Amino acid sequence: MAVRKNQSTLTADEKRRFVAALLELKRSGRYDEFVTTHNAFIVSDTDNGERTGHRSPSFLPWHRRFLLEFERALQSVDSSVSLPYWDWTVDRTPRASLWAPDFLGGTGRERDGRVPDGPFSASGGNWPITVRVDGRTFLRRSLGSGVRELPTRAEVESVLAMSTYDMAPWNSGSDGFRNHLEGWRGVNLHNRVHVWVGGHMATGASPNDPVFWLHHAYIDKLWAEWQRRHPGSGYLPAAGTPNVIDLNETMRPWHDTSPADLLDHTPHYTFDV
């Protein structure tokens, strides 16, 4: 079973294997299929219509399945690889270890956001951006420019304390844990991190930046933590809700998995802590 580790504890060999698996998925074209899927759901998920991956109760189970599919793709390249997570309440600056040249590379150039170092830089020739939001073909970041501060642990704790998973109107205007974690309300956790990284992470094509997977692995970990703290508070809505995914409804694009099937992550992976 996969163990998802804090990226700051990865060995040099674990980092190398993770990066190599990413590059192989990119070379084969499989990586960009995930970017295309995510971008399509960002575009189609709206507050007033059918919504599945974002602005909706199924934000968390949808991304759990999305990450599982990606992790399995990585493991088809190297069975030893699992998704690491980025605890942005601790590793809070552009000098943190994940932005080193031997892992994800650092921030982009001021004039155009182009990432100049690391395995995903344009100069290496191994990471062309093909699912684009504009004509630029290189990975872009702007760490700390769109918003200055990443969320703190105290802010995370304030969201984990919420005892209700979600509530009407089941969109970006909802109260409850899911929407405050997603970041449309309150202290803004998930969305703020996307904006802090900037560049591609601030767009619907955010998986173009490999940090997407580390960020969402941590969001998934926070959901698991919330579940442990609130064992009597399950996924909502349960049934009969227009335009959103109820507990036992299947989710696009897979059509074989419901939120109920994904409430327990332990058959698939565990976390290091």
Q: Is residue 272 part of a domain?
A: no
User: Is residue 216's pLDDT more than 90?
Assistant: yes
Q: What is the pLDDT of residues 218-246, one digit of tens each?
A: 999 999 999 999 999 999 999 999 999 99
Check which CATH number belongs to the domain holding 114 and give it: 1.10.1280.10
Q: Is residue 170 part of a domain?
A: yes
Q: What is the pLDDT of residues 144-183, one digit of tens each?
A: 999 999 999 999 999 999 999 999 999 999 999 999 999 9
**Over pLDDT 90: what percentage of the chain?**
99
Q: Which residue has the tokens 């982009």?
A: 108
Q: What pLDDT shows up at residue 86?
A: 98
Q: Is residue 248 part of a domain?
A: yes
Mean pLDDT value across the chain: 97
Phi first, then psi, for residue 16 (nearest 5°) are -60, -45
Phi first, then psi, for residue 181 (nearest 5°) are -70, -45
**Over pLDDT 70: what percentage of the chain?**
100
Q: Is residue 273 part of a domain?
A: no
Q: DSSP for 178-207?
A: HHHHHTSSTT--HHHHHHHH-GGGGSTTGG
Q: How many domains does the chain have?
A: 1
User: Is residue 273's pLDDT more than 90?
Assistant: no
pLDDT band at 90, cuts 50/70/90? very high
CA-nearest of 54, 88, 66 to 182 is: 54
Domain that holds residue 237: 2-266
Q: Is residue 249 part of a domain?
A: yes
